[in-house]
Structure 1
């Protein structure tokens, strides 16, 4: 599975701010010793707000910061001055994060866009000052409202991974063809680069009625980490996967160099991506004989599982499923 820095589940305790006390004040000046009420309202207590951040991919920052408190509202004062609102507390989370009630299991909301904000715990309302209670029968009310209490409780934040396995490779590496061969997904397939412009997701049926999700990530180009092409848009989706399946076509000019370029683009974009488990598949292996496979195998690094596959003939497709399932269910180191 992904390295220990990939945290997709946290339980946090949140407390929003209490509303400020309304002011009970009567106007007293040199020329007016018996003025009317002029107490201002208390300020609202601070909210606890969840905010989407597309630059984040883990909930690790909340693993050791489980108690979140917003500021209390400030009391009102004389001359109808309202107290300041308590400062809101923001919790930054990656896209795809859902909030749940731990007691009921109910999903409260999901963060899907950068900058999206949803109130997780609402701050208490500020109390009204005595100005509001003046009437024809009570010209000098000597009371004001206290502020409302804030909300408090446990909440679960859970990151919904886009897929268990993400396919990583250059355009035309055969990723979409593999996805269509191992799942019911029907991505667009053609013999030209950049057929895939958005991730395609498929469920792979495995032995004993088990399954896992696999995503066809749009092809990476050299320089994607600097934003060339649609690099950032493509690479962001890889952050949601637990296992990366690198794909290099058998007819590539230099297989080892292709793999290193892909690794380098991931490292430049986010070095933590290299902590994920990896498998390397040489696609279009129906073009190779045993001798060529052995030569290519010698070029490739020995620290990563390598398998030769053909989505057209079905060569080693079941063996690939077995390998992916094994890697997905390995205990974290």
Structure 2
């Protein structure tokens, strides 16, 4: 299958939803492209880490590592509750919490490595199931479809923390454009003394996403998807389906601070519009991290992850 895509001199990012963002697009076969990306990625990993350490990243699957992260976070929550109850933390509890936070950081690195290999290997073995979408303002829903997902292989140049895909708001209701998107460092959400406000512009020229062919929402234009979603019957059906998953975890959307799956919530006060009703929140008590489901593409992606079918 011949697709518009790149020889990929630059692997810009991997999304946990099994999508690759790359630049410098030319014509090539999807299978050739993915094979080259897998080779480059594994080669860089081998050079960066000794064999013994590299093998340790692959002992557990990404899913098992997420369970470890949830276990670590649960113990941290208990220590925080104990400190609030007692009015202070003992030295032993402080040391234990610091140890757990270090374990969390190490486990998340293992998750990133395991998930990256899982995505690239799956794409290499099933290249015929992927197609490239060359990005333009009429294809921004491809970006929205992947917003909120953990971004792999995309690091902040200032502090080397992971980055996430963000977009500016269009409060006037007009269609989003490619220039509305940018990369933001997850360190932005840290305490002031550890905060990083690093951002990077989104590369607009010769860029593309490699994604699965079975995503119907990505086979139409951004304008057409928005037009379809304006139908009241479509919105009502989507709201009913999404509501049925409130309080459920989303394994592909993880908190940037606590590295645990976020849960679906419905806003207590909203305008009644489908794009103003739902968000994903971190289950860690007191954490304010949220991912708003504010576009038709994001709602479609959520339903695809939970039910295997989007909104079309």
TM interval, shorter chain, is under 0.3
Q: TM-score, normalised by structure 2?
A: 0.24
**Per residue, is there more helix in 1 or in 2?**
2
Q: TM-score, normalised by structure 1?
A: 0.23
| Structure number with larger C-alpha Rg | 1
